[in-house]
Structure 1
Amino acid sequence: MAEPGMAPIDKARFALRRETGDLPEAAAKLAEEIGSTAVEAVVAQANRTAVRRGATAALGSMSPRPAEWYAFDDGDQETTDWYPQGLTGSEDSGSIGVPVFMVSWYFKPAAGERGIRITFLSPRTLRYRHALLVAARPDGGYGPIDIHAGGIACFGDLLYVADTVRGLRVFDLGNLLDLRTAQNDLGDPERVGRHGGKFHAFGYRYIIPQTDHWQVAAAGPRFSFVGLDRTGDTPLLITGEYREGDPLGWVGRWPLDLAGGEPADAFTMGRPKIQGALSQGDTWYLSQAGPSSTTNGKLVVHSGEESRTRPFPIGPEDLTVQGGKLWSVTEFKNKRTVFGVAL
């Protein structure tokens, strides 16, 4: 029996309202004290090395293999504390001067919360570095953000991060802060925030404070992933909902300025376990997880009335387009890659 395809639904229930509050003022205060830097500088100071075509266990039974993939280093492969989720890149941004992928990770342990982080990975050098996303306070302090960060998209300097029950958090990459400009060391690796006149970020050199928030206006809709469609005259921000065993998870597209808060359109996706969604005009790409951490996922492609599936690795997550390829990231231990396939 064929699985149902995508179907349009009422878009009004997915409306967002802007809840900026004092976020930009708090972030600006931190930037004034610490000093901001650029993504290009973070990439130049990368302190970890990815492996081209490593972690082949992530591919499972996939055939043909991806056109290209990069595996995180042994420490990031083996940890059970951090799990990669969201993916975007310099091509989405349009204003970053070097090729780079950005990956969001969430901290899984229930105790000792360390929030969410972003990885800046250079496909040219295979070098990468993590930065901590933080919530700044008007008093000059800051702390970790305890969310899943299941998807990210970047446009210009703005990084949109999915907050499952609250909508979209926004971070300004122009406020990417380097703790080394404010002090000689990186502080206590077990602490975060300002303590004793010093800045701490669990040992990370770079922090990025939140600057805006788009809150879901009605209770119920969940925001699991984020993507960007740049194929039309007006770029569209895409977000939607993962559902474990239900094919009626939703996906919607907003004009990039989010004016009015209501999406331009919304659909049910017709498949369960969708971890990422991306449109290229009228063609949709859905990243579907398998039933376990040892089972391959699928790439679902909807175009018009046609729906088909293509091979995908184990544990596929969020989606982005860069260099003419469709890219995703895989999440499971010892199977963590950023990989690209033909559109």
Structure 2
Amino acid sequence: MASALSALCLTLVQSPPAVAASVLSPMDATRMKLTAGDFQSRWDAISAIEASGRVTSYTGQTALTPLLDGKGRTGTRGLCHATNLNPDYKPDGFCWDTADDTSAEWTPQGLTASHDAQPGGTWLGKYVYIASWHYTGDTFARISVVDNSPGLPTTYDHVLLVDPYGAGSAANFRAVGDPNSGRTPVPGGHADGISWYGSKLFLATGHQIQVYDLRHLWRMSDNTAASVGIQGDGRSTARYHNWALPMIGVYHNGNKGDPCTDTAPCLTSLSLDRTGADGLITSEINATGGRPVVRWPLNATDALLQTDGARNHLGTVTATVAYRVPIWKVQGAATDGTHYYFSGECPAYAGSTDSDVPYCVHWAVPNQAPHVLTYAPPLTQNLSWSPSAGRLWGLNERADHTAPGKRVVFSLDPPD
């Protein structure tokens, strides 16, 4: 780890204030609950679709293998854009290709990695990162599966997120975010925070945590169509994507558009906490702060959230820990077991409408005021803690729609 916190050595003229206005104060977590949604019908639809042969299915623990073959898109290893990060913290990372760096349609939000998936830090012997992206209008959602293993080019593939439905020969799938899904609650398409735990991938979308199983990856028969699903002529399509990943279920505390409250907080960022009993960490964005960071319990046996039901795809999840966060516009939260890290507005730029001003990574311990750890890339989003490397990861959503763009995935080595 880096040495004790030193003065920030940045190229910016103004240094950030050291302390925020209030403390990370405890809240009553027992009043915060999530209800398990429909898992069984989705499992039934997945089985029927795979049995039909209309998709090429890759199943089991090695299902991600075809995404880690060194093909697909090629990113840039290292920090290709200015990040504002304190150089004392040994920043590193990677960048997307030019099309994704500058896309006006797709926006990156969440980040997780094989350091979340299992304690050893790798998956199939590789250092794998997964980012979530939402589409303009939130009618589609996707992930990017990145091989960023040392000594190799940074390569990745995009995978559309889909919702399976129906049974038998009528089983099909639609885009996550399709407003005509017919489900309650309607699966949200604003793909935000993401976290990888064992074989499961969790995605935060406002009042939902959607669940995907990385043991079921589908290759489409046609990547030239805008449609999503199994078409009348038998083709499988996923809006120009080669790959699709089916949702298996959802945990929710409301519907899209419902208010964010202290008992039903909105779930915008997501990270994994392996310190003590495993849990998911969520936070909620608010213009002037004061919203919760919450810990939800996980079950290591089935890699699902822990409910009070006979099985963890049934019943209710009750939060175990919650704190009120005084930082403005929190976009991400993670913990190393001692500190909580938050991405949010810098005190020096709070309330700014300039999308190019730096964001800040703040850190805090419960019952104490947050401090600014470092400036960060503009519009920094979700964070992820790597216990195997002792590094904090994050990404930003800022785009300049002309080359070379401004998006970067970064990591840093914070002080003890």
Normalised to the residue count of structure 2, the TM-score between the two structures is: 0.75
| 3-state SS of paired residue (1:121) | strand
Q: How far 1:144 sits from its partner (Å)?
A: 1.2
Task: Give the direction of change, closer, same or farther, for the CA distance of 1:310–1:173 in structure 2 (3 Å limit).
Answer: same
Residue 256 of structure 1 aligns to a residue whose secondary structure is: strand
1:127 aligns to 2:155 (yes or no): yes
CA distance in 1, matches of 2:246, 2:69: 21
Quote the residue 1:216 is aligned against. 253
**Cα deviations by residue, 1:262-318 (Å, 9 ceiling, x for unpaired):** 101111111111111112223111111464320111111112525211222212111
1:2, distance to aligned residue in structure 2 (A): 4.2
**CA radius of gyration, larger in:** 2
Structure 1 unaligned regions, length at least 5: none
Equivalent AA in structure 2 for residue 329 of structure 1:
L
Describe the SS at the equivalent of 2:101: helix
1:140 corresponds to: 171
**Alignment partner, residue 12 of structure 2:** none
Q: Does 1:228 align with 2:246?
A: no
Q: Which residue of 2 aligns with 1:307?
A: 370
Task: Spell out the pairing of 1:1-343 with structure 2 (5 A cutoff).
Answer: 2-21=20-39, 22-32=41-51, 33=53, 34=55, 35-37=57-59, 38-44=63-69, 46-57=71-82, 59=83, 61-64=84-87, 67-94=91-118, 96-97=123-124, 98-108=126-136, 110=137, 115-124=140-149, 125=152, 126-138=154-166, 139-146=170-177, 147-165=189-207, 167-179=208-220, 183=221, 186-195=222-231, 196-216=233-253, 220=260, 221-232=265-276, 234-244=277-287, 246-257=288-299, 258-260=306-308, 261-289=317-345, 291=352, 292-304=354-366, 305-311=368-374, 312-322=376-386, 323-333=389-399, 334-343=405-414
SS at match of 1:42: helix
The separation in 2 between residues aligned to 1:194 and 1:101, in whole angstroms, is: 29
Q: Is the 8 A contact 2:336 2:385 kept in 1?
A: no
Secondary structure, counterpart of 1:3 in structure 2: coil
- Supply the distance in 2 between the matched residues of 1:55 and 1:249 (Cα, whole angstroms): 33
Paired with 1:24 and 1:45, the residues of 2 have a C-alpha distance of 31
Note closer, same or farther for the CA distance 1:289–1:117 as it changes in structure 2 (3 Å cut).
farther
- Tell me, in whole angstroms, the C-alpha distance in 2 between the residues paired with 1:9 and 1:231: 20
Gaps of 5+ in 2: 1-18, 178-188, 300-305, 309-316, 347-351, 400-404
- Rounded Cα–Cα distance in structure 1 between residues aligned with 2:67 and 2:200: 16
Give 1:178 shift. Answer: 2.0
State the 4+ residue runs in structure 1 displaced beyond 6 angstroms: none
Displacement, 1:203? 1.8
Contact 1:51 1:72 (8 Å CA) reproduced: yes
Using the alignment, how far apart are the partners of 1:239 and 1:62 within structure 2? 24
Any conservation in 2 of the 1:105–1:149 contact (CA below 8 Å)? yes
Q: Which has the higher strand share?
A: 1
Q: State the one-letter code of the partner of 1:115.
A: F
Percent identity between the aligned chains? 25
CA distance in 1, matches of 2:164, 2:224: 18
Please state whether the residue corresponding to 1:36 is helix, strand or coil: strand
SS in 1 for 2:318: coil
Q: Is the 8 A contact 1:255 1:264 kept in 2?
A: yes
